[in-house]
Structure 1
């Protein structure tokens, strides 16, 4: 990925997902995203609360992968 000029350059990419979601887990692993943390009971669906994982990659990390 190329560098964006100026102070508004993208610094990180973040994904919030269900720990049970295998497709997004594979994609975030393939992209080199690190587990930032778990937001416990962050999603409410059908009257039930579910955890949410937060994964991210910083601009210097994705540039190193390119």
Structure 2
């Protein structure tokens, strides 16, 4: 069973479809999905999302 990761108030992400994680600064992060879509991670969730998506390469 796949567990989804909440990246913001309005978005859940299936880690299977995450292509890369891009830290923009200490207060901004973006996730690129395998389909090319880029999603912003809310400031409040950056720490949690980083830990949950650790198996995915940080680019």
TM-score of the superposition, structure 1-length normalised? 0.29
Structure number with larger C-alpha Rg? 1
**Structure ranking higher on relative contact order (CA contacts 8 Å, 6+ apart):** 1
- For normalisation by structure 2, the TM-score amounts to 0.31
